[in-house]
Chain A
Amino acid sequence: MNRLFHIIWREWKRYLLLPYLRRMLLIIPVILFFFYAWIYQEQEIRDLPVAIWDEDQSDISRRIQFLLEQTPSIHITTSVTDQAVLQNKIMSGEISGAIHFPRGMEAAVKSKHPVTVTVYTNAAALVPAKLLYKDAARVIITAGSGVLLQQYLRSGMATEKAMALVQPVKVTAYTLYNPTFNYRYYLVPGLVTVALQMLFIMVSALGINKEEEEGSFAEAWRIAGASPSLLLMGKLLAQVIFSWFHFILIAGILYPLHHLGQPGALVKFFLLHNLLVLACTGLGLFLSVIFRDVMLALDAALFYTSPAFVFSGFTFPRWAMPWYDQVYAKLLPYTHFLDAYIKTYTMNSPLRYGIMEMLMLLLFCFAPLSVAVLVLARRYRSPIAFAS
């Protein structure tokens, strides 16, 4: 036990004294976590510049324009007179979209002929395009309903019946866990935890080989009593306990400051955080033992961890990926962490819903770590081998 405490204490001293570890464990996380939150300071996209192409110049088209201006995402900034000008303005970035009212629209509505209002968006920028479409569609559907309601009331229909006929099937939607589609609430926890994953794999990928390169490995080996399992366990525990600093940084400062996360599910987050760090450290130490060349280990860690965010299915669902990408996603600890995080922390579901993912994270830790122990034991099985 004494040896284990010695290894842990030695590791912590290394974290604080060695620049490459101090940078990774103390400086980069602080900058990165708050940088991510800062990017999404606005939280929601509002008042996107939109052009009006009004060929009708009627009372109805003006009323619809008024309603469009009241929506969160639309801000009418200019008018255009044809589609070529409209496209050029979108290409130059002056506007994000446009609404077209056809000539004779009011007359058609009054004579009970259908009209078509066209919504143009710049779908090369997908996020603003979807917001514009959503708000414009809501206004145009409402306008159509208003026209219908007036027609029915004018024909002498009872109000309740007219209302029912205007919208016979009403959809009441509950968007749970992020009702306002707040981007900061959505993206920052994902970005922060994926950075955490990269951080711990990349730090532990230097855990053994860098010591071998620097010549300090003999000291570590001696403290561990020439026991590879004790040495790796010490390094693992040192990193897990040190990561509580990062947990406090995230759950204690970043989340409350930016109104993120679920304060009522903190214990579950803490558990998942520890499991993620265990998995990442186990994998990182494995890389560190396998690749004795520091740069190669770092490259391997970087190549393995950097795609985690996109493969996890956070922004683009895994079921939409080809099968081989789905398989690769399962080989990343972050995928399992994210699934459990969303279910048990974001959605605050009971822990049992994330049990499989948690077991997978433990597997990610102890399976590669066992191999690393065997390799290390074989490498240093005799004092001669150690000396060489």
Chain B
Amino acid sequence: MSETNQKGLLAVWLREIRFIGSDHSLLLTVLIAPLLYAFFYGSIYINKEEQAVPLAYVDADGSELSRTLAVQLNSLPVVQLVSVANLDDARGMLASGEVQGYLFVPRGVQGQLLKLKPADIVIALNAARFLPSSDLLAAVTKIALTAGAGVRLQYLKSGGLTNAAAMQQVMPVNLDYRPLFNESSSYGAFLLPGLLALILQQTLLIGISVSVSKEWTRGRYGEWLAAGGGRTGSAVAGKGLCYVLLFACFAIFFTVVNYHVLGLTVKGSRIELMMATLLFLTVLVLFGMFIGSLFRSTVATVQFMAFSTYPFFLVTGYSWPFAYLPRPLQAFASLLPTTPFLKINTAIVQMGSPLHLQADALWHLVALAMLYAVLLVARIAWVRRKESLGV
């Protein structure tokens, strides 16, 4: 890089720092919001998984079996049984949201079992929200299977088998579940690494795009380019570098402090994660500058960025598998830097994958960096020509 370019880059960089310092909206977005959001959002999932989901329990049998079922269910951390006198009350509690479901043990269940006839118990769940209903169903199924195994054990022992021999025949095929890379299958451990990356992305995008659009609205486009020595490259690099460095500090802070507070670990190499993050931030800056250059109003820029947060996250394949998006949305998602980065981030943070195994996603980021650099330079050239901003 020539000395003129270096001077231009430094001049734009210093100008941007002064700009951020003097604009309280920008200051709020790029300095305070990332930290506040990271602690604020992150704390929601600090417990990682839900516990004590309220489940109404209607015991019409009043037997030893029904009491045992209740004790066993209550011993599971995920369930909090609420004893209810009858089904009408249970339905009322479900309708009012006091419980997320009800378990009904009909009269005569134990009698059926003693006669070696199948005993039916009924569970009704509110599946309007997925997590509590699926957790409750899994818990009740587990207890029913355990109770069933207990019945078989007693039967086999009554036939003269020793406890050890009976135990061997109770469950001929057992299931060993190994959820890899998130051993407790917790919602928090799954969501938090992606969420922190998303916070980094959206605050950076809002900051850089607002900064660029403010150059427009305040009629300072020419001044910005002039500060870069009239060279688009220096002007873009100077402004962009300011945000890349700032957000790289946030990224390090998140993976050290926030991860520690939230009980998350980086299973792979931190250096490789940082390298990928730096590339990601570079693409984001180019993308954000390009988006910002499209709007002539700062309000419009904020409106666009605000309403893009959820759609951008939902199409990345993080919460809903990428392959299940409609084809045009897959193409759209491929244009977002978050899509390849979240793949790399998950692989390194949660799976401990080496970076070279994520070469596809890495090349994807490089391709996006080139695409947005070309689009941005073309857009600035077009603006310069149109507005006769040649300096």
- Chains A and B form a bound pair: yes
Residues of chain A at the chain B interface (Cβ within 8 Å)? 19-20, 23-24, 28, 32, 35-36, 38-42, 45, 48, 87-88, 90-93, 109, 112-130, 133-134, 136-137, 140-141, 143-144, 147-148, 151, 160-161, 163-165, 167-179, 181, 183, 186, 191, 194-195, 198-199, 202, 206, 210, 293-296, 298-299, 302-303, 306-307, 309-311, 313-317, 319-322, 324-325, 339, 342-343, 346-347, 349-350, 353
In the complex, which of the residues A183, A319, A322 has the most CB atoms of chain B within 10 Å of its own CB atom? A319
Q: Are B113 and A168 in contact (CB under 8 A)?
A: yes
Stretch at the interface among B4-12, B174-182, B236-244, B275-283: B174-182
A112 touches B113 (CB 8 A): no
Q: Please, which residues of chain B bring their CB within 8 A of the CB of A42?
A: 324-326
Decide yes or no whether B257 CB sits under 8 A from chain A.
Answer: no
Q: Show 20 residue pairs from A and B whose CB-CB distance is below 8 angstroms, ordered by the A residue.
A: A114-B174, A118-B177, A119-B177, A120-B180, A122-B180, A124-B182, A124-B346, A137-B175, A171-B123, A178-B127, A293-B24, A294-B299, A295-B302, A303-B36, A307-B41, A315-B129, A316-B44, A316-B50, A343-B97, A350-B95
We find that the number of chain B residues with CB closer than 8 angstroms to chain A is 102
- Beta-carbon contact of B310 and A309 below 8 Å: yes
Say yes or no: A117 contacts B43, CB within 8 Å: no
Which of A178, A320, A349 has a CB less than 8 Å from the CB of B95? A349
Are the CB atoms of A141 and B172 closer together than 8 Å? no
- Bound together, the chains give a CA A172 to CA B104 distance in angstroms of 10
Contact A91 B357 (CB under 8 A): yes
The listed residue (A171, A194, A316) touching B140 by CB distance below 8 A is A171
The answer to whether B123 and A172 touch across the interface, beta carbons within 8 angstroms, is yes
Docked Cα-Cα span, A87 to B113, in Å, equals: 44
- Give CA–CA (A109, B172) in the complex, Å: 6
Task: Return the chain A residue nearest B347 by Cβ.
Answer: A91
- Please name all residues of chain A whose beta carbon is closer than 8 Å to the beta carbon of B314 when the two chains form the complex: 36, 39, 191
**Interchain CA distance A26-B50 in the complex, whole Å:** 39
B50–A347 contact, CB under 8 A? no
Which chain A residue shows the least CB distance to B178?
A120
The reply to whether the CB of B121 lies closer than 8 angstroms to some CB of chain A is yes
The CA of A112 and the CA of B351, in the complex, are separated in Å by 38
On whether the beta carbons of A171 and B152 are closer than 8 Å, the reply is: no
Contact between B120 and A343, CB atoms less than 8 A apart: no
Q: Which residues of chain B (172-208) have a CB below 8 Å from chain A?
A: 172-183, 185, 187-188, 190-191
A124 CB to closest chain B CB (Å) equals 4
Among residues of B, the one whose C-beta sits closest to the C-beta of A90 is B180
Q: Which residue from chain A places its CB closest to the CB of B80 in the assembled complex?
A: A319
Q: How distant is the Cα of A177 from the Cα of B182 in the complex, in angstroms?
A: 30
Q: Are A121's CB and B144's CB within 8 A?
A: no
* Binary contact readout B13-35 vs A (1 if CB under 8 angstroms, 0 otherwise): 00000000000110011000100
Given known pairs A127-B321, A133-B179, A325-B43, the reply for A144 and B173 (CB within 8 Å) is yes
B148 proximal to A (CB < 8 A): yes
Is there an interface contact between A38 and B326, defined as CB atoms closer than 8 Å?
A: yes
Q: Is the CB of A319 within 8 A of B50?
A: yes
- Are B49 and A320 in contact, with the CB atoms below 8 A? yes
* Residue in contact with A178 in the complex, picked from B128, B176, B185, CB distance below 8 Å: B128
Residue numbers in B under 8 Å from A40 (CB-CB): 320
Report if B298 contacts A (CB, 8 A): yes
- Quick one: which of B126, B173, B300, B351 contacts A176, CB cutoff 8 A? B126
Contact (Cβ within 8 A) A28 B303: yes
Asked if A32 contacts B326 (CB within 8 A), the reply is: no
Q: Are B303 and A202 in contact, with the CB atoms below 8 A?
A: yes
A177–B126 CB distance below 8 A: yes
Determine whether the beta carbon of B169 is less than 8 Å from that of A165.
no
Q: How far is the CA of A48 from the CA of B131 in the complex (A)?
A: 21
* Interface contacts beyond A167-B148, A168-B119, A316-B44: sample of 15 additional A-B pairs, CB < 8 Å, sorted by A: A32-B311, A39-B326, A90-B181, A114-B169, A130-B185, A133-B177, A133-B179, A140-B173, A171-B141, A172-B121, A175-B133, A178-B127, A202-B306, A295-B302, A299-B29
Residues A181 and B130 in contact in the complex (CB < 8 Å), given A295-B302, A342-B97: yes
CB of B52 within 8 A of CB of A321, answer no
Q: Does B343 contact A (CB under 8 A)?
A: yes
Chain A residues contacting B37 (CB-CB under 8 Å) are 307
Chain A residues, Cβ within 8 Å of B179: 120-121, 123, 129, 133
- Which residue of the partner chain A has the closest CB to B167? A114
Are B125 and A321 touching (Cβ within 8 A)? Answer: no
CB of B363 closer than 8 Å to a CB of A: no
**B residues neighboring A (CB under 8 Å):** 24-25, 28-29, 33, 36-37, 40-41, 43-47, 49-53, 69, 94-97, 113, 116-134, 137, 140-141, 144-145, 147-148, 151-152, 155, 168-183, 185, 187-188, 190-191, 297-300, 302-303, 306-307, 309-311, 314-315, 319-321, 324-326, 329, 343, 346-347, 350-351, 353, 357
Listed residue (A41, A183, A302) with the most chain B CB atoms within 10 angstroms of its CB = A302
B119 touches A109 (CB 8 A): no
A119 to B303, CA, bound (A): 46
Residues of B with C-beta under 8 A to A170: 118-121, 144
Q: By the criterion CB–CB under 8 Å, are A176 and B127 in contact?
A: yes
The reply to whether B25 and A169 form a contact with Cβ atoms under 8 Å apart is no
Say yes or no: A39-B325 contact (C-beta < 8 A), given A170-B120, A174-B125.
yes
Decide if B44 touches A310 in the complex (CB within 8 Å): yes
CB distance from A199 to the nearest CB of B (A): 8
Please, how many angstroms separate the alpha-carbon atoms of A314 and B130 in the complex? 9
With A and B bound together, what is the CA distance between A322 and B51 in angstroms?
Answer: 12
Distance, CA A386 to CA B179, complexed state (A):
66
In the complex, chain A residues whose CB is within 8 Å of the CB of B33: 303
Task: Give the Cβ gap from B60 to chain A, nearest Cβ, in Å.
Answer: 15
A171 in complex: contacting residue of B127, B144, B182, B307, CB < 8 Å: B144
How far is B177's CA from A120's CA once the two chains are assembled, in angstroms?
6
B18 to chain A, nearest CB (A): 18
Q: Tell me, in angstroms, the Cα distance from A116 to B177 when the chains sit together.
A: 10
* Residues of the A chain whose Cβ atoms lie less than 8 Å from the Cβ of B125: 173-176
Minimum CB distance partner of A179 in chain B? B127
Question: 3 shortest A-B CB distances, which residue pairs?
Answer: A123-B179, A144-B173, A123-B182
In the assembled complex, the Cα of A321 lies from the Cα of B41 at a distance in Å of 11
User: Could you say which residues of chain A place their CB within 8 Å of the CB of B121?
Assistant: 169-172
Chain B residues near A19 (CB-CB < 8 A): 297, 300
- Do A137 and B177 touch across chains, with their CB atoms under 8 A apart? yes
> Are the CB atoms of A124 and B148 closer together than 8 Å?
no
Q: From residue B20, how far is it (CB to closest CB) to chain A in Å?
A: 14
Known: A20-B303, A198-B307. A347 touches B180 (CB 8 A): no
